[in-house]
Chain A
């Protein structure tokens, strides 16, 4: 693995179903993030984690949950998917949050369609 990987690449999901988007990084970055990207809008932060064992809410957290059991993995769960959650989801990581340049590096994204 090099950088950040996300799975699945794309998914079509029935409304009401539970779904977990996976994200793994091998850069030993402390901070990780989940964004959604919708046409005409900027990237919007869903949840973040400053370090393993801690998580925080971003701009649009409703309907999503995350966990950070270790440094490498940061899964995003939709408990009961709704059509408004149709989007492209990006996972990102940075060496630190709140210090230095805080440059974020992104995974390839997951395209999710909720019908």
Chain B
């Protein structure tokens, strides 16, 4: 079966750095997405990786290793507004998005 694993919850301090990991086992791979979802709101697109390596976008970076079935989202200079759930999703061989359950990130002052 297809599976996306990410930690259920993480806590970090304002101004610090946090890394959210995602491992996947899917039938085929056509890219990996990270989305941010604030409580009670819709998911919003953060990043897309299809090749190995690090993609940097401001305070957020996303890394992919296809051989290890592994990705992480790195958030720097954490702000209170970064408190949200972060969803990892993989585009499989049928171009269907397979979603992880999400990681709830709690930022403390």
Using a CB–CB cutoff of 8 Å, the interface residues on chain A facing chain B are: 40-45, 48, 58, 90, 97-98, 101-109
Contact = CB atoms under 8 A, between A and B. Distances in A.
A106 B44 contact: yes
Query: Nearest 6 pairs between A and B by C-beta?
Result: A42-B99, A106-B42, A43-B99, A98-B95, A42-B101, A101-B48
A106 B41 CA distance: 10
Given A102-B91, A106-B43, A109-B42, A42 B100 contact: yes
9 contacts: A41-B101, A42-B89, A42-B98, A43-B87, A90-B43, A103-B33, A104-B45, A104-B97, A108-B42
B96 A108 contact: no
A57 B96 CA distance: 11
Given A102-B30, A104-B97, A107-B42, 8 more contacts: A40-B101, A42-B100, A43-B43, A43-B99, A44-B99, A101-B31, A103-B48, A105-B45
Contacts of A90: 42-43
Q: Is the interface of A mostly helix, strand, loop or mixed?
A: loop
Given A40-B101, A106-B44, A107-B42, A45 B31 contact: no
Nearest to A59: B96
B103 to A, nearest CB: 11
B4 A42 contact: yes
A91 to B, nearest CB: 9
For B91, B98, B99, B100, the residue with the greatest tally of chain A CB atoms inside 10 Å of its CB is B99
Nearest to A98: B95
A34 B44 CA distance: 16
A92 to B, nearest CB: 8
B90 to A, nearest CB: 11
